[in-house]
A and B are shown apart, each in its own frame.
Chain A
Amino acid sequence: MNRPLLTIGISLALCLPLAAQAGSKEDFNDVYSKAQSTHQDAGTFQWTVTSDRLKAAKSAADNGNFEKAAAMANEALRLAEESVAQRKQQQEAWRNVAIGN
Protein backbone atom coordinates (compact mmCIF):
# COMPACT_ATOMS: atom_id res chain seq x y z
CA MET A 1 0.00 0.00 0.00
CA ASN A 2 1.12 3.54 -0.68
CA ARG A 3 2.58 4.75 2.54
CA PRO A 4 2.14 8.56 2.21
CA LEU A 5 -1.44 8.22 1.07
CA LEU A 6 -2.28 6.01 3.96
CA THR A 7 -0.72 8.50 6.34
CA ILE A 8 -2.77 11.31 4.87
CA GLY A 9 -5.86 9.22 5.23
CA ILE A 10 -5.08 8.47 8.82
CA SER A 11 -4.29 12.03 9.69
CA LEU A 12 -7.45 13.21 8.01
CA ALA A 13 -9.56 10.69 9.83
CA LEU A 14 -7.98 11.47 13.15
CA CYS A 15 -7.31 15.15 12.95
CA LEU A 16 -10.82 16.27 12.21
CA PRO A 17 -12.39 14.87 15.32
CA LEU A 18 -9.32 15.70 17.34
CA ALA A 19 -9.36 19.33 16.30
CA ALA A 20 -13.02 19.59 17.12
CA GLN A 21 -12.49 18.01 20.49
CA ALA A 22 -9.24 19.65 21.39
CA GLY A 23 -11.32 22.04 23.47
CA SER A 24 -8.82 24.74 24.19
CA LYS A 25 -9.88 27.70 26.19
CA GLU A 26 -9.03 30.09 23.34
CA ASP A 27 -11.12 28.19 20.81
CA PHE A 28 -14.01 28.29 23.17
CA ASN A 29 -13.66 31.98 23.91
CA ASP A 30 -13.65 32.75 20.19
CA VAL A 31 -16.82 30.88 19.38
CA TYR A 32 -18.53 31.98 22.55
CA SER A 33 -18.01 35.67 21.98
CA LYS A 34 -19.06 35.32 18.36
CA ALA A 35 -22.21 33.48 19.43
CA GLN A 36 -22.93 36.15 22.01
CA SER A 37 -22.58 39.03 19.59
CA THR A 38 -24.66 37.29 16.92
CA HIS A 39 -27.33 36.65 19.57
CA GLN A 40 -27.27 40.40 20.33
CA ASP A 41 -27.67 41.16 16.62
CA ALA A 42 -31.00 39.33 16.69
CA GLY A 43 -32.42 42.22 18.75
CA THR A 44 -36.04 41.49 19.68
CA PHE A 45 -35.82 38.29 17.63
CA GLN A 46 -33.65 36.34 20.06
CA TRP A 47 -34.44 32.68 20.60
CA THR A 48 -34.67 31.14 24.06
CA VAL A 49 -32.82 28.04 22.86
CA THR A 50 -29.83 30.22 21.98
CA SER A 51 -29.79 31.72 25.47
CA ASP A 52 -30.02 28.20 26.92
CA ARG A 53 -27.01 26.98 24.90
CA LEU A 54 -25.00 30.07 25.86
CA LYS A 55 -25.71 29.44 29.54
CA ALA A 56 -24.78 25.78 29.19
CA ALA A 57 -21.56 26.75 27.39
CA LYS A 58 -20.66 29.23 30.09
CA SER A 59 -21.22 26.83 32.93
CA ALA A 60 -19.28 24.02 31.18
CA ALA A 61 -16.39 26.45 30.69
CA ASP A 62 -16.57 27.51 34.33
CA ASN A 63 -16.18 23.84 35.23
CA GLY A 64 -13.18 23.49 32.94
CA ASN A 65 -15.00 21.28 30.43
CA PHE A 66 -13.97 23.14 27.29
CA GLU A 67 -14.94 20.35 24.97
CA LYS A 68 -18.58 20.57 25.99
CA ALA A 69 -18.37 24.34 26.29
CA ALA A 70 -17.21 24.67 22.68
CA ALA A 71 -19.87 22.28 21.43
CA MET A 72 -22.60 24.30 23.19
CA ALA A 73 -21.18 27.59 21.96
CA ASN A 74 -21.11 26.25 18.41
CA GLU A 75 -24.76 25.27 18.63
CA ALA A 76 -25.58 28.67 20.09
CA LEU A 77 -23.82 30.33 17.17
CA ARG A 78 -25.75 28.37 14.56
CA LEU A 79 -29.06 29.09 16.30
CA ALA A 80 -28.19 32.76 16.67
CA GLU A 81 -27.38 32.97 12.96
CA GLU A 82 -30.81 31.58 12.11
CA SER A 83 -32.50 34.08 14.43
CA VAL A 84 -30.66 36.93 12.73
CA ALA A 85 -31.75 35.56 9.34
CA GLN A 86 -35.32 35.44 10.65
CA ARG A 87 -35.09 39.05 11.78
CA LYS A 88 -33.85 40.18 8.36
CA GLN A 89 -36.43 38.17 6.51
CA GLN A 90 -39.33 39.39 8.65
CA GLN A 91 -38.45 43.03 8.09
CA GLU A 92 -40.46 42.87 4.88
CA ALA A 93 -42.27 39.53 5.08
CA TRP A 94 -44.56 40.56 7.95
CA ARG A 95 -46.51 42.74 5.56
CA ASN A 96 -47.58 39.73 3.51
CA VAL A 97 -49.74 38.45 6.36
CA ALA A 98 -50.86 41.75 7.89
CA ILE A 99 -54.49 42.77 7.72
CA GLY A 100 -54.42 46.30 6.36
CA ASN A 101 -51.17 47.65 5.10
Chain B
Amino acid sequence: MVKAKIILVVLGAALAVPQVLAGSTPEEDRKAMVEYFMQMFPDVPFEGFVNGQYALNEDRRRQWESMQDFPPYEFAVADGQEMFETPFANGKTYASCFENDGIGIRQNYPYFDTEKNEVITLELAINRCREANGEEPLKWKKGAIASISGYMASTSQGKPINIKVPDDPDALAAYQDGKEFYYSRRGQLNFSCASCHVQNPGKWIRGDFLSPTVGQPANFPVHRSDWGEMGTLHRRFAGCNTNVRAEPLPAQSEGYRNLEYFLTYMSNGLPVVGPATRP
Protein backbone atom coordinates (compact mmCIF):
# COMPACT_ATOMS: atom_id res chain seq x y z
CA MET B 1 0.00 0.00 0.00
CA VAL B 2 2.72 2.42 0.97
CA LYS B 3 4.63 1.32 -2.06
CA ALA B 4 1.72 1.96 -4.37
CA LYS B 5 1.33 5.44 -2.97
CA ILE B 6 4.94 6.24 -3.67
CA ILE B 7 4.65 5.02 -7.22
CA LEU B 8 1.62 7.21 -7.70
CA VAL B 9 3.47 10.22 -6.37
CA VAL B 10 6.44 9.58 -8.61
CA LEU B 11 4.20 9.05 -11.61
CA GLY B 12 2.36 12.23 -10.81
CA ALA B 13 5.62 14.15 -10.70
CA ALA B 14 6.81 12.63 -13.95
CA LEU B 15 3.55 13.51 -15.64
CA ALA B 16 3.41 17.01 -14.30
CA VAL B 17 7.00 18.05 -14.95
CA PRO B 18 7.20 17.74 -18.72
CA GLN B 19 3.94 19.59 -19.15
CA VAL B 20 5.25 22.52 -17.19
CA LEU B 21 8.71 22.49 -18.76
CA ALA B 22 8.13 21.56 -22.34
CA GLY B 23 7.22 24.66 -24.28
CA SER B 24 8.27 23.11 -27.57
CA THR B 25 8.15 19.56 -28.89
CA PRO B 26 11.31 17.68 -29.92
CA GLU B 27 10.29 18.08 -33.55
CA GLU B 28 9.86 21.84 -33.13
CA ASP B 29 13.29 22.03 -31.49
CA ARG B 30 14.88 20.07 -34.32
CA LYS B 31 13.31 22.14 -37.06
CA ALA B 32 14.34 25.38 -35.37
CA MET B 33 17.88 24.13 -34.93
CA VAL B 34 18.25 22.96 -38.53
CA GLU B 35 16.86 26.29 -39.68
CA TYR B 36 19.37 28.10 -37.46
CA PHE B 37 22.34 26.28 -38.96
CA MET B 38 21.05 26.51 -42.54
CA GLN B 39 20.92 30.27 -42.08
CA MET B 40 24.34 30.34 -40.51
CA PHE B 41 25.84 28.25 -43.35
CA PRO B 42 23.67 28.90 -46.43
CA ASP B 43 26.21 27.22 -48.76
CA VAL B 44 26.19 23.88 -46.95
CA PRO B 45 23.57 21.41 -48.20
CA PHE B 46 21.63 19.69 -45.39
CA GLU B 47 23.36 16.33 -45.93
CA GLY B 48 26.74 18.04 -45.79
CA PHE B 49 26.40 18.52 -42.04
CA VAL B 50 27.33 14.88 -41.43
CA ASN B 51 30.91 15.88 -42.23
CA GLY B 52 31.16 18.13 -39.17
CA GLN B 53 34.02 20.60 -39.38
CA TYR B 54 34.83 19.41 -42.92
CA ALA B 55 31.50 20.71 -44.15
CA LEU B 56 32.54 24.21 -43.15
CA ASN B 57 36.20 24.40 -44.07
CA GLU B 58 37.46 23.87 -47.66
CA ASP B 59 41.12 23.43 -46.75
CA ARG B 60 40.48 20.90 -44.07
CA ARG B 61 38.00 19.04 -46.26
CA ARG B 62 40.48 18.69 -49.13
CA GLN B 63 43.18 17.36 -46.81
CA TRP B 64 40.69 14.95 -45.29
CA GLU B 65 39.37 13.68 -48.63
CA SER B 66 42.90 12.89 -49.75
CA MET B 67 43.22 10.54 -46.76
CA GLN B 68 40.07 8.56 -47.45
CA ASP B 69 41.70 5.89 -49.66
CA PHE B 70 43.15 4.06 -46.68
CA PRO B 71 40.85 4.76 -43.77
CA PRO B 72 42.63 3.96 -40.51
CA TYR B 73 39.55 2.26 -39.03
CA GLU B 74 39.40 -0.49 -41.66
CA PHE B 75 41.11 -3.11 -39.51
CA ALA B 76 39.04 -2.27 -36.47
CA VAL B 77 35.83 -2.64 -38.47
CA ALA B 78 37.00 -6.01 -39.83
CA ASP B 79 37.77 -7.06 -36.26
CA GLY B 80 34.34 -5.85 -35.23
CA GLN B 81 32.70 -7.96 -37.91
CA GLU B 82 34.59 -11.03 -36.79
CA MET B 83 33.58 -10.52 -33.17
CA PHE B 84 30.02 -9.81 -34.24
CA GLU B 85 29.82 -13.09 -36.13
CA THR B 86 31.70 -15.29 -33.65
CA PRO B 87 29.30 -17.25 -31.43
CA PHE B 88 29.35 -16.75 -27.63
CA ALA B 89 30.15 -19.74 -25.40
CA ASN B 90 26.45 -20.63 -25.46
CA GLY B 91 26.47 -20.85 -29.25
CA LYS B 92 24.36 -17.75 -29.90
CA THR B 93 25.61 -14.59 -31.63
CA TYR B 94 25.01 -10.87 -31.32
CA ALA B 95 22.54 -11.17 -34.18
CA SER B 96 20.12 -12.96 -31.84
CA CYS B 97 19.74 -9.80 -29.72
CA PHE B 98 18.87 -7.34 -32.49
CA GLU B 99 16.17 -6.57 -34.95
CA ASN B 100 17.13 -7.66 -38.51
CA ASP B 101 20.02 -9.66 -37.01
CA GLY B 102 21.78 -6.37 -36.19
CA ILE B 103 22.36 -5.41 -39.83
CA GLY B 104 21.40 -1.91 -40.98
CA ILE B 105 19.91 -0.71 -37.68
CA ARG B 106 22.37 1.93 -36.40
CA GLN B 107 20.01 4.74 -37.50
CA ASN B 108 17.43 3.67 -34.89
CA TYR B 109 19.77 4.14 -31.92
CA PRO B 110 19.43 5.43 -29.32
CA TYR B 111 15.78 4.67 -28.65
CA PHE B 112 13.59 5.01 -25.57
CA ASP B 113 12.54 1.70 -24.07
CA THR B 114 9.08 2.36 -22.62
CA GLU B 115 9.16 -0.83 -20.54
CA LYS B 116 12.54 -0.30 -18.91
CA ASN B 117 11.94 3.46 -18.91
CA GLU B 118 15.38 4.35 -20.17
CA VAL B 119 17.35 5.33 -23.24
CA ILE B 120 19.08 2.39 -24.94
CA THR B 121 22.19 3.28 -26.92
CA LEU B 122 23.81 0.89 -29.39
CA GLU B 123 26.77 0.29 -27.08
CA LEU B 124 24.46 -0.42 -24.14
CA ALA B 125 22.52 -2.91 -26.27
CA ILE B 126 25.79 -4.62 -27.28
CA ASN B 127 26.87 -5.12 -23.68
CA ARG B 128 23.40 -6.16 -22.52
CA CYS B 129 23.43 -8.75 -25.30
CA ARG B 130 26.71 -10.10 -24.00
CA GLU B 131 25.45 -10.27 -20.42
CA ALA B 132 22.19 -11.93 -21.47
CA ASN B 133 24.35 -14.60 -23.07
CA GLY B 134 26.62 -15.12 -20.09
CA GLU B 135 29.57 -13.04 -21.33
CA GLU B 136 31.45 -10.30 -19.48
CA PRO B 137 30.55 -6.76 -20.59
CA LEU B 138 33.15 -4.85 -22.62
CA LYS B 139 34.77 -1.58 -21.58
CA TRP B 140 32.65 1.32 -22.82
CA LYS B 141 34.84 3.84 -24.57
CA LYS B 142 37.22 2.10 -26.96
CA GLY B 143 38.58 -1.21 -28.15
CA ALA B 144 36.24 -4.11 -28.91
CA ILE B 145 33.02 -2.18 -28.26
CA ALA B 146 34.03 0.57 -30.69
CA SER B 147 34.97 -2.03 -33.30
CA ILE B 148 31.65 -3.87 -33.01
CA SER B 149 29.64 -0.66 -33.00
CA GLY B 150 31.78 0.53 -35.94
CA TYR B 151 30.95 -2.60 -37.89
CA MET B 152 27.25 -2.24 -37.13
CA ALA B 153 27.36 1.40 -38.28
CA SER B 154 29.12 0.38 -41.48
CA THR B 155 26.21 -1.92 -42.36
CA SER B 156 23.85 1.04 -41.93
CA GLN B 157 25.64 3.62 -44.04
CA GLY B 158 23.31 5.92 -45.92
CA LYS B 159 20.25 5.09 -43.83
CA PRO B 160 18.60 8.22 -42.46
CA ILE B 161 18.85 8.69 -38.70
CA ASN B 162 15.40 8.01 -37.27
CA ILE B 163 15.21 8.73 -33.54
CA LYS B 164 11.77 8.71 -31.99
CA VAL B 165 10.48 10.31 -28.83
CA PRO B 166 7.34 8.27 -28.16
CA ASP B 167 4.28 9.91 -26.68
CA ASP B 168 5.31 8.98 -23.15
CA PRO B 169 6.10 11.34 -20.28
CA ASP B 170 9.25 9.46 -19.32
CA ALA B 171 10.58 9.53 -22.87
CA LEU B 172 9.93 13.24 -23.07
CA ALA B 173 11.60 13.73 -19.69
CA ALA B 174 14.70 11.88 -20.93
CA TYR B 175 14.81 14.08 -24.02
CA GLN B 176 14.37 17.23 -21.89
CA ASP B 177 17.11 16.10 -19.54
CA GLY B 178 19.51 15.68 -22.46
CA LYS B 179 18.50 19.06 -23.81
CA GLU B 180 19.09 20.73 -20.45
CA PHE B 181 22.51 19.10 -20.20
CA TYR B 182 23.38 20.36 -23.68
CA TYR B 183 22.57 23.98 -22.89
CA SER B 184 23.85 24.18 -19.30
CA ARG B 185 27.21 25.76 -18.64
CA ARG B 186 29.62 23.53 -16.81
CA GLY B 187 33.16 23.43 -15.57
CA GLN B 188 35.52 26.08 -14.28
CA LEU B 189 35.70 27.50 -17.81
CA ASN B 190 31.90 27.92 -17.83
CA PHE B 191 30.90 26.44 -21.20
CA SER B 192 27.83 24.56 -22.32
CA CYS B 193 28.01 22.20 -25.28
CA ALA B 194 26.03 24.90 -27.08
CA SER B 195 28.61 27.62 -26.29
CA CYS B 196 30.92 25.91 -28.76
CA HIS B 197 28.71 23.88 -31.10
CA VAL B 198 25.67 26.19 -31.39
CA GLN B 199 27.12 29.65 -30.78
CA ASN B 200 30.48 29.22 -32.48
CA PRO B 201 30.63 26.55 -35.18
CA GLY B 202 32.76 27.59 -38.13
CA LYS B 203 35.14 29.41 -35.81
CA TRP B 204 38.57 28.52 -34.53
CA ILE B 205 39.16 27.82 -30.90
CA ARG B 206 42.93 27.91 -30.78
CA GLY B 207 43.97 25.21 -33.30
CA ASP B 208 40.57 23.49 -33.48
CA PHE B 209 37.80 24.24 -35.95
CA LEU B 210 34.33 23.92 -34.40
CA SER B 211 31.56 21.78 -35.91
CA PRO B 212 27.80 22.40 -35.53
CA THR B 213 25.49 20.26 -33.38
CA VAL B 214 23.52 18.93 -36.31
CA GLY B 215 25.29 15.98 -37.97
CA GLN B 216 27.77 15.27 -35.16
CA PRO B 217 26.61 11.80 -34.08
CA ALA B 218 26.22 10.54 -37.67
CA ASN B 219 29.89 9.61 -37.99
CA PHE B 220 30.35 7.66 -34.75
CA PRO B 221 32.21 5.67 -33.63
CA VAL B 222 35.06 7.74 -34.90
CA HIS B 223 38.76 7.23 -35.49
CA ARG B 224 40.61 10.27 -34.18
CA SER B 225 44.25 10.88 -34.97
CA ASP B 226 44.40 12.42 -31.49
CA TRP B 227 43.40 9.07 -29.99
CA GLY B 228 45.27 6.99 -32.56
CA GLU B 229 42.29 4.63 -32.52
CA MET B 230 38.51 4.45 -32.58
CA GLY B 231 36.35 5.73 -29.77
CA THR B 232 32.65 5.93 -28.93
CA LEU B 233 30.45 9.01 -28.71
CA HIS B 234 30.58 8.97 -24.92
CA ARG B 235 34.35 9.07 -25.04
CA ARG B 236 34.00 12.28 -27.05
CA PHE B 237 31.46 13.69 -24.58
CA ALA B 238 33.91 13.05 -21.76
CA GLY B 239 36.70 14.79 -23.69
CA CYS B 240 34.56 17.85 -24.40
CA ASN B 241 33.56 18.01 -20.72
CA THR B 242 37.08 17.74 -19.35
CA ASN B 243 38.36 20.36 -21.79
CA VAL B 244 36.24 22.92 -19.96
CA ARG B 245 37.32 21.47 -16.59
CA ALA B 246 33.96 19.82 -15.89
CA GLU B 247 33.96 16.33 -14.37
CA PRO B 248 32.73 14.02 -17.11
CA LEU B 249 29.89 11.61 -16.34
CA PRO B 250 30.62 7.90 -16.59
CA ALA B 251 30.20 6.49 -20.11
CA GLN B 252 26.68 5.09 -20.54
CA SER B 253 25.44 6.81 -17.39
CA GLU B 254 21.83 7.89 -17.61
CA GLY B 255 22.93 11.51 -18.07
CA TYR B 256 25.12 10.77 -21.09
CA ARG B 257 22.52 8.47 -22.62
CA ASN B 258 19.90 11.21 -22.35
CA LEU B 259 22.40 13.63 -23.87
CA GLU B 260 22.97 11.23 -26.77
CA TYR B 261 19.19 10.92 -27.18
CA PHE B 262 18.73 14.67 -27.54
CA LEU B 263 21.84 15.13 -29.70
CA THR B 264 20.97 12.32 -32.11
CA TYR B 265 17.37 13.43 -32.40
CA MET B 266 18.72 16.78 -33.68
CA SER B 267 20.33 14.83 -36.57
CA ASN B 268 17.17 13.05 -37.69
CA GLY B 269 17.00 12.67 -41.46
CA LEU B 270 20.77 12.77 -41.97
CA PRO B 271 22.43 9.59 -43.24
CA VAL B 272 24.61 7.36 -41.06
CA VAL B 273 28.21 7.82 -42.25
CA GLY B 274 30.12 6.17 -39.41
CA PRO B 275 32.72 5.11 -38.81
CA ALA B 276 34.68 8.14 -39.97
CA THR B 277 37.94 9.93 -39.25
CA ARG B 278 38.50 13.16 -37.37
CA PRO B 279 41.59 14.98 -36.13
Direct touching of A and B (C-beta under 8 Å): yes
Least Cβ–Cβ distance between B189 and chain A, in angstroms: 9
A contacts with B, residue count (CB < 8 A): 20
Interface residues of A: mostly helix, strand, loop or mixed? Answer: helix
Q: Is the CB of A90 within 8 A of B24?
A: no
Tally the A-B contacts, defined by beta carbons under 8 Å: 63
Q: Is the CB of A99 within 8 A of B29?
A: yes
Least Cβ–Cβ distance between A87 and chain B, in angstroms: 8
B33 contact set on A, CB distance < 8 A: 99-100
Q: How far apart are the CA atoms of A100 and B194 in the complex, in Å?
A: 13
- Check: B28 CB closer than 8 A to any chain A CB: yes
Contact of A98 among B185, B194, B195, B246 (CB under 8 A): B194
Q: Is the CB of B29 within 8 A of A100?
A: yes
B contacts with A, residue count (CB < 8 A): 28
Q: How far apart are the CA atoms of A99 and B185 in the complex, in Å?
A: 15
Q: Is the CB of B246 within 8 A of A45?
A: yes
Least Cβ–Cβ distance between A88 and chain B, in angstroms: 11
- Check: A86 CB closer than 8 A to any chain B CB: yes
Name, among B36, B185, B192, B194, the residue most crowded by chain A CB atoms within 10 Å (CB to CB): B185
Least Cβ–Cβ distance between A63 and chain B, in angstroms: 25
- Check: A2 CB closer than 8 A to any chain B CB: no
Q: Is the CB of B190 within 8 A of A100?
A: no
Q: How far apart are the CA atoms of A48 and B184 in the complex, in Å?
A: 17
Q: Is the CB of B183 within 8 A of A45?
A: no
- Check: B249 CB closer than 8 A to any chain A CB: yes
11 A-B pairs whose Cβ atoms sit less than 8 Å apart in the complex: A45-B246, A48-B187, A48-B188, A86-B185, A86-B186, A94-B183, A97-B183, A97-B199, A98-B183, A99-B33, A100-B33
Smallest CB-CB A-B distances: 4 pairs = A100-B29, A46-B247, A101-B23, A100-B24
